[in-house]
Amino acid sequence: MGNYIDPSELSIYGLPEDATVGLSLDEISAHIDAAEALADSYIGARGYDVPLPTPDAGLKSAVGRIAGFAVLSTRGLMTENAAHMTLMKGRDDAVAWLRDVAAGKANLASGAPGGGLAARRQVNVATIVSSPTRGW
């Protein structure tokens, strides 16, 4: 099951409750797992160790909106339905936010990346030592 959200939370992020009728828990969980993997690919690229032990509200929302849209898509997206289009816009906004996190334009509320790629990059930082000024 998911690291960041569980199936009962999908309605919080806009998925109509009736959208999961007839779907098994395994099917719903597969969409959540895929959304979490997508999110982890973005935040992991920024240097966060993934999966995060405690996801913040922004990450939970992004995963919920991406997974919710994926569930709805399996049911049949209706472009004339305003609720469906709102869910699609939410998914697009969530992916854009994840891109911003990866690019360093947005941060997770949990703070700066640590221990992951960013920390490994710092290992190769050059140290420069110079003599004291001689006063000439």
Where exactly are the structural domains of the chain?
A: 7-122
Q: Is the pLDDT of residue 108 over 70?
A: yes
Cα(100)–Cα(1) distance, rounded to whole angstroms?
27
Rounded distance between C-alpha atoms, residue 95 and residue 89, angstroms: 10
Place of tokens 């898509």: 73
CA gap 105, 10 in Å, rounded:
27
pLDDT of the residue at 133: 63
5-49 per-position pLDDT tens digit: 999 999 999 998 888 999 999 999 999 999 999 999 999 999 999
Give the pair of three-digit tokens for residue 62.
């992004």
91/31 Cα distance (integer angstroms): 13
Report pLDDT for 30: 96
Share of the chain above pLDDT 70, in %: 81
